Amino acid sequence: MLKLFIAALSVALLYWLWHKKNQIFSKRNNKVDPFITTIEAIELQTFLDWDTPQLCLESDGIRYGKQFKHKLPPDLPHESRCRCEVTKLFYTSDDVFQGTSPILTHKSALGEISSKDALLLKNILLKIITDSKEKSFTDFLAQFELNSFSADIRTQAISLAEKAFQSADNK
């Protein structure tokens, strides 16, 4: 008789659990809403020209802010020919982690150029200042992939670099 009572009680308990399963064992929501935060940054941008100072070129593109290695931007101007400026940027965490950051333009003597062109031009100008031991400008340019420049500014960028090379050669 005791066994029958335990069996009936077990069946009743299982029946009750089956009806209350949604309340007791709540379903977990597999859809997780993304937590998006906004990251504020200040980016130092250098006006790229044939006579841009080395310190300005080296500082170009450095981002400052609470979430970055460098917290506060330097006082501007760096030196007499400095034409650097700070630009405020706002990124969402989605931009940073998904790689969808906005494509920025860069001010230069050639006008507004893409960040990709600006990076190549900056690297050429820096190399001219720090290590232009080549005898000819053509030999110097051989170390860079000039086809990476946009077609519409390629000749102007090479002319600007040549002017910088000649200026460094005369020093």
Q: Domain ranges in the chain?
A: 38-170
Q: Give Dmax (Cα) for the chain.
A: 111
Residues of the chain with pLDDT under 50: none
Dist CA 48 CA 52 (whole Å): 6
Q: What is the Cα Rg of the chain in Å?
A: 31
Q: What is the pLDDT of residues 2-46, one digit of tens each?
A: 888 888 888 888 888 787 776 666 655 556 666 667 778 888 999
pTM for the structure as a whole: 0.70
